[in-house]
Structure 1
Amino acid sequence: MKRTVGYTWGLRELMAARGIYTATELVPLLRDRGITLSASQVHRLVSGTPERLSLQLLAALCDILACTPAELIPTTAENTAALRAAGDGPGRPGPAGPERLRPRPARILPDA
């Protein structure tokens, strides 16, 4: 059985809950913890969902927001069933409905 995993980036919500409403307010707080990022980098961090994140930055954000990594990045995992195509396997009929209807080639006969 396959599993699909995902995550959501909860930085903006946690910042708002702690009274931090702009990315520029976050820059000096990160700098105090040894993380030097430009205002535009922090803006991208706040407004988007990062694909990669250093553990040092994660630890600094958790310290600033007084949260755990699980609160900052809630994860999901669910089972996904393997999809079978119609007509797969023994005893299964082929496609039904419009997929089964195919146009016939036209035959042009000479006038007799």
Structure 2
Amino acid sequence: MKRTVGYTWRLRELMATRGKFTATELVPLLRERGIDLSASQVHRLVSGTPERMSLQVLSALCDILACTPADLVVPTAENAGIRRTATDDLPGPVAGVEKLRPRPARILPDA
């Protein structure tokens, strides 16, 4: 059985619990820790769900928010549904189907 794996990014939620409500508040705090990200890059980290991130940025965020990576990233996993094909819901062979054949076409001369 295949499993679908994902994660929930909780940076905005943790920032709010620590009294930080804008992405621009993180920029100088990240710079203090040697992480040089533009305001737009930090905004994307806060407002979206990153697909890739360096461990240094993750460590800096954990240091700023006094949390662990497990607080920031909550993994999710569930069993993938069984894919159905077009033939899954067709009934079995019908009796007498092999006798059904198309009728040959008759070509009539122009009259």
Instruction: Give the alignment's TM-score, normalised by structure 1.
Output: 0.74
Superposed, 1:42-81 pairs within 5 Å as 42-81=42-81
Match of 1:93 among 91, 94, 105: 91
- Which structure has the bigger radius of gyration? 2
Q: Kindly indicate whether the alpha-carbon contact (under 8 Å) linking 1:23 and 1:46 is maintained by their aligned counterparts in 2.
A: yes
* Ranges in structure 1 where 5+ consecutive residues have no aligned partner: 95-112
How many equivalent residue pairs?
92
* Aligned-residue offset at 1:81: 3.4
3-state SS in 1 of match to 2:76: strand
**Which whole-Å CA distance do the structure 1 matches of 2:41 and 2:75 have between them?**
24
* Equivalent in the alignment of 2:5: 5
**Which whole-Å CA distance do the structure 1 matches of 2:84 and 2:27 have between them?**
50
**Which whole-Å CA distance do the structure 1 matches of 2:87 and 2:41 have between them?**
51
**Which whole-Å CA distance do the structure 2 matches of 1:15 and 1:33 have between them?**
17
Q: Which 4+ stretches in 1 moved above 4 angstroms?
A: none
What is the percentage of aligned positions where both structures have the same residue?
78
Aligned-CA RMSD value: 1.8
* Equivalent in the alignment of 2:27: 27
* Ranges in structure 2 where 5+ consecutive residues have no aligned partner: 93-111
3-state SS in 2 of match to 1:56: helix
Instruction: Give the alignment's TM-score, normalised by structure 2.
Output: 0.75
* Equivalent in the alignment of 2:83: 83
Q: Kindly indicate whether the alpha-carbon contact (under 8 Å) linking 1:15 and 1:21 is maintained by their aligned counterparts in 2.
A: yes
Which letter does structure 1 place at the counterpart of 2:11? L
